Amino acid sequence: MLDPTVQPQGVMPPEWAPHSRTWMAFPPANGTFGQPGSETLQRARQAWAAVANTVIGYEPVSLLVDPADLAVAGELLHPNIEIQEANLDDAWLRDSGPTFVHTAESDGAGVAAVDWVFNGWGAQNWAEWDNDSRLASHIAELTGAPISSSKLVNEGGGIHVDGRGTVLLTETVQLDPGRNPELSSSATGKTEVEAEIHRQLGTTKAIWLPRGLTRDYDEFGTKGHVDIVAAFTGSGALLLHTQQNPDHPDYEVCREIRQALQNSTDAEGNPLRIVEVPAPAVLQDEEGWVDYSYINHYVANGVVVLCAFGDPQDEVAAEILAQEYPDRSIELVEARDIFAFGGGIHCITQQQPAPLH
């Protein structure tokens, strides 16, 4: 069970707060990306590199690279990107990396690193995590940030904060029997999860989504990560993925999620200002119903890195994000290959906030 005596290290700032840098990982050869020399592995590396090469135009980027892949990474990456060697199982650093928080004490570092338990998105039979389960502590060591260890199985893609005390969670993630079986079967499971999340992130109010998008429950899904469904903005809005075509199963899913959100209030007691972001027009790929989503963007210093799908809705989404972030550039980066491997731009990036002091 979770320890109720653990004190919080600090407060997780919102993504739009100033960053010191962005952390990413370079796709290694594995069962998801393909074996060395494969066309799929090359596609993955080019897609990840395109994101890193965009972010480096706005803030420092540190990229974890498996020792076997140093040469090929150097060929694809902007020379200003810092490469750090690390043994990798996968490359979804939003989930396997630490969640950084501002520290409560003036300890010289200014930030601490929350080290959740990572077990391959609920110990899924295709996943490996021996190396990735150690990445949060490895990055903390590289940055000099103190570690706040949690017993909660959780991933960075499963949380989203507004910077004013509110955090979004999903019932099928934090209460997943493959992640936290003792909490999923407990009448007080939600309460215990909320208490641990609040201790680690400094939040005071949790809003629970009932589920995530349909494809996220396929074999290689996360079982409902919130960062593909809803995201707060610096203007105080809540961006919500909206499937407008009733032929897609997410049409009803989005209606269910909106119903849950429109009946919720934030930590300050205010109703949520929901801004719908239409899903891309495309409905399916070769694997089935797509979960293409503009919600899975990344907010960095001076920029919003937005998923592009070669779709007419790309520009619609870019305009919505421009309205919410008028002080930032909007950079559209092709994301279909990233989604084909199981995630989006937000899933492969992790912000390290600038210290307060």
Identify whether 30 is part of a domain: yes
Identify whether 4 is part of a domain: no
Comparing 98-107, 131-140, 181-190, 289-298, which segment has the lowest mean pLDDT? 98-107
Q: Does residue 257 surpass a pLDDT of 60?
A: yes
Model pLDDT, residue 7: 58
Looking at the 3D structure of the chain, how many domains does it have? 1
Percent of the chain surpassing pLDDT 90? 92
Q: Does residue 105 surpass a pLDDT of 80?
A: no
Identify whether 223 is part of a domain: yes
Query: pLDDT tens digit string along 259-270?
Result: 999 989 999 999
Q: Does residue 73 surpass a pLDDT of 50?
A: yes
- Rounded average pLDDT over 281-306: 96
User: What token pair was written down for 216?
Assistant: 């996220």
128 three-state secondary structure:
coil
Identify whether 162 is part of a domain: yes
In this prediction, residue 201 has a pLDDT band, given cuts at 50, 70 and 90, of very high
| Distance from chain centroid for Cα 197 | 16
Q: Which residue has the tokens 């201790």?
A: 199
Q: Does residue 281 surpass a pLDDT of 50?
A: yes
Percent of the chain surpassing pLDDT 70? 96
User: What token pair was written down for 63?
Assistant: 């990229």
Closest CA to 334 of 302, 292, 299, 300: 292
Identify whether 2 is part of a domain: no
Q: Does residue 9 surpass a pLDDT of 70?
A: no
**Containing domain of residue 343, as a range?**
10-353
How high does pLDDT run on average in the chain? 95
8-state DSSP, 156 = G
The answer to whether 347 and 158 have CB atoms below 8 angstroms apart is: no
Q: Which residue has the tokens 């020379």?
A: 79
Identify whether 3 is part of a domain: no
Question: CA 340 to CA 338: how far, in whole Å?
Answer: 5
In this prediction, residue 357 has a pLDDT band, given cuts at 50, 70 and 90, of low
Among this protein's residues, is 254 annotated catalytic? no
Could you tell me the CATH number of the domain that includes residue 219? 3.75.10.10
User: What token pair was written down for 9?
Assistant: 């290290």
Which parts of the chain are beta strand (E)? 10-11, 19-25, 61-65, 82-85, 99-103, 111-117, 147-153, 160-161, 166-170, 205-209, 230-232, 237-242, 273-278, 284-285, 288-289, 298-300, 303-308, 329-334, 350-353
In this prediction, residue 10 has a pLDDT band, given cuts at 50, 70 and 90, of confident
Model pLDDT, residue 283: 96
Q: Does residue 106 surpass a pLDDT of 60?
A: no
Model pLDDT, residue 1: 47
Identify whether 272 is part of a domain: yes
Positive or negative, the CA dihedral 167, 295, 173, 30 is negative
Q: Does residue 300 surpass a pLDDT of 80?
A: yes
* Among 168, 347, 348, 351, the one annotated catalytic: 347
| Burial bucket for residue 326 (CB in 10 Å: 0-12, 13-18, 19+) | exposed
| Burial bucket for residue 134 (CB in 10 Å: 0-12, 13-18, 19+) | middle
Identify whether 5 is part of a domain: no
